[in-house]
Structure 1
Amino acid sequence: MLIPMISDLPVGALLGVCAAAALVILLCGLRMTALADRLADRSGLGEAVVGGVLLGAATSLSGTVVSVTAALDGHASLAFSNGIGGIAAQTAFLALADLLHRKANLEHAAAELANVFQGALLLLMLTLPLAAYTLPELSFWSVHPVSALLVVLFAVGSIATQRVREAPMWRPVRTRDTREDVPDEDDPEPRRTAVLVLVFAGLMAAMATAGWALSLGAAELTARFDLNASMVGALMTAVITSLPELVTTLGAIRRGALQLAVGGIIGGNTFDVLFLTFSDVGYRDGSIYHAIGTPDLFWLVVGMMMTAVLILGMLYRQRHGPAGIGVESLLILGIYGGAIATQTL
């Protein structure tokens, strides 16, 4: 059994397990970007929708496994902070990606109503765990009703995002720096779509396995050194399992798939909120929203602040800002850096 083996490993070997899991997650995430771009073109769904739903959910799979495994083991804080911390980390990655796209502010060039809509959906979903925490504890079979509501919102929001893309009621002003989502004329992948889907599924399975190993390693390190579970979840497992989002975002920008880059981050964040639903189901000692502490809520608020700034940036669409990136990117990095500083002092 792997679980007793993990507990018997020395510190160096534990760190090696976490590093190996991070490498698998990183490499799988890199390959997924190209496949998602091809599938977006072949399906006709568009980069924003495929990035926000398919790629966002796929790259979040390893993080899902981390949260569920932690919840099943009774580590409520680690499970909660892993999902919420990932949202903050991935939003910061998008601000870093703005540095790579030098022609204009990324939020300006990747103008797409579907991404704005999903950003607002994400902000709405983030308010529900906070509401659950403030309300009296209520659960059915140890699952809070908010967990079910999050799934409903995600499903309805995903359908609505596709409808918004197909029949938008307003369109962003096109400028010389706006990059249109136009399918590639030459498809570099000669394989059939079904084969691409199977390869994509295989990469997802590898990422899930890596996420499971990472969760076990992180939980063991937390217990062995009496670390703050919220800090480990928000700044270790969340960042590692968010590496696919960083890789896919940078890879998408290099390919010119800007809507895919932005949509992948926002969609991944939206799916990450569902970590709380999965964790609530896995946590058997009652509602997970009433088993967390103030540090976990801190990262929830940070995620909400960063998401709000991102939405404002997508609406304002500043073409050029200080240091060659948008003001919203600087604010996002400032919020994330300040949050890390306040929690590590």
Structure 2
Amino acid sequence: MPVLDIQSLDLSAVVAIFLASGLVVLLCGVRLTRLADGFAARSGIGQAVTGAVVLGALTSLSGSVTSVSAAAAGHPALATSNAIGGIAAQTMFLVIGDLVYRRANLEHAAASLPNMLSGSVLMILLGLLPMAALLPPVTVAGVHPLTPVLFLIYVLAVRATDRAGRQQNWIPRQTSETRVDQPDEQARRIGVGLPLVLAILGLGAVVGVAGYLISGSALAMASTLGVREGLIGAVLTSTVTSTPELVTTLAAVRRGALALAVGGILGGNTFDVLFMAFSDIAYRPGSIYHTLSPDQVFLVLLAMVMTAVLIFGLLHRERRGFANIGFESASLTVLYAGGVAALVWAF
């Protein structure tokens, strides 16, 4: 069964689906950011952890649906490329956020321990993927042993990040441009409440469906070009299914929720690695990790290097740089552009 059966539709109908779904993601993404920020204030867990867990998971629903559907349909290259390609694309969204935030370098203003820990966990999860691909293709009931390990690491990392944020054993030096995530005691007294939770889950579901339609229509438009499946997943579907992350990042930056913006990207990227675990369960012929091709391994390494650059920027905290962005934003731009070029021409 194809990822989305719209191949019988004419091009005008496919474009209409793409544009309409994009508008839905745009509207819901902005609203979802506001609700997530409110959840952070009312729950007291902070913007960084909320961005990494709540916002990161919900805005990744569209990409998760795409990867799992592709894996179940027997298209592992699309499933894996969509998952890993989305990490590189979403990291690039922080460059756009840095351009929008004119007061200072975004990584300087949004530095926080939870975000640095999230980035470190992301690198650990990414590093395990090629390691699994190099080991014998052992499976239990068609599932590779790494799959439950990825879930376990994610859960333990979320707990550790939340605890680190509460204990504050390490905090960045405060400057005039640092935006501190201060607890809102009045909001905490109000509490989260069932309506807020239902609103977040409902909007997340809508974003997931809209993202699924975006990916399906993008695949239909790209199919006439004869582009290989891995490249479509790495560049096209990974970008369009990451649209919620772009919307929520820009909305969070404009509202001054900088830790939420960075945490949302890192959390979404971490959750994207779990796409591989979900896809491994859905992929019945065997271990999906052993279907990784050289271009997909290249994508994993590219995502790791880009994440390392981002963590370095959060630690180095350059206040201003060329075009009012930090060196890490410039580096991320060069890395992503070079990586896409390599995928097109070298593989």
**TM-score normalised over the length of structure 2:** 0.93
Distance 2:263 2:314 in 1: 12
Distance 2:4 2:97 in 1: 40
TM-superposed deviation, 1:224 = 5.2
TM-superposed deviation, 1:193 = 2.9
TM-superposed deviation, 1:292 = 2.8
Which amino acid is the alignment partner of residue 103 of structure 1? R
Q: Residue by residue, what CA displacement relative to the aligned partner does 1:174-202 show, whole Å, maximum 9, x if unpaired? A: 11111111246887xx9973212111111
Is contact 1:221-1:227 (8 Å) kept?
A: no
Q: Report the counterpart of residue 53 of structure 2 in structure 1.
A: 53
Distance 1:298 1:218 in 2: 23
Q: Give aligned pairs, total.
A: 343
**Runs of 5+ consecutive residues of structure 2 not aligned to the other structure:** none
Distance 1:80 1:5 in 2: 20
Task: Provide runs of 4+ in structure 1 moved above 3 Å.
Answer: 1-5, 183-187, 214-226
Is contact 1:230-1:296 (8 Å) kept?
A: yes
Taking only aligned residues, the RMSD between alpha carbons, in angstroms, comes to 2.2
TM-superposed deviation, 1:214 = 3.6
CA distance 1:301–1:238, change in 2 (3 Å): same
Q: Quick check: 14-23 or 324-333, which moved more?
A: 14-23
Q: Does residue 234 in structure 1 map to residue 234 in structure 2?
A: yes
Q: Does residue 116 in structure 1 map to residue 116 in structure 2?
A: yes
Q: Does residue 264 in structure 1 map to residue 287 in structure 2?
A: no
TM-superposed deviation, 1:18 = 3.1
CA distance 1:288–1:19, change in 2 (3 Å): farther
Q: Does residue 17 in structure 1 map to residue 8 in structure 2?
A: no
Q: Quick check: 166-175 or 120-129, which moved more?
A: 166-175
Q: Does residue 329 in structure 1 map to residue 329 in structure 2?
A: yes
Q: Quick check: 9-18 or 111-120, which moved more?
A: 9-18
Distance 1:245 1:130 in 2: 26
Q: Residue by residue, what CA displacement relative to the aligned partner does 1:280-317 show, whole Å, maximum 9, x if unpaired? A: 11111111111231121121111111001001111111
**TM-score normalised over the length of structure 1:** 0.93
Is contact 2:3-2:69 (8 Å) kept?
A: no
CA distance 1:79–1:320, change in 2 (3 Å): same
Aligned identity (percent) is 48
Distance 2:271 2:3 in 1: 28
Distance 2:167 2:234 in 1: 38
Q: Report the counterpart of residue 279 of structure 1 in structure 2.
A: 279
Is contact 1:65-1:215 (8 Å) kept?
A: no
Is contact 1:222-1:229 (8 Å) kept?
A: no
CA distance 1:300–1:192, change in 2 (3 Å): closer
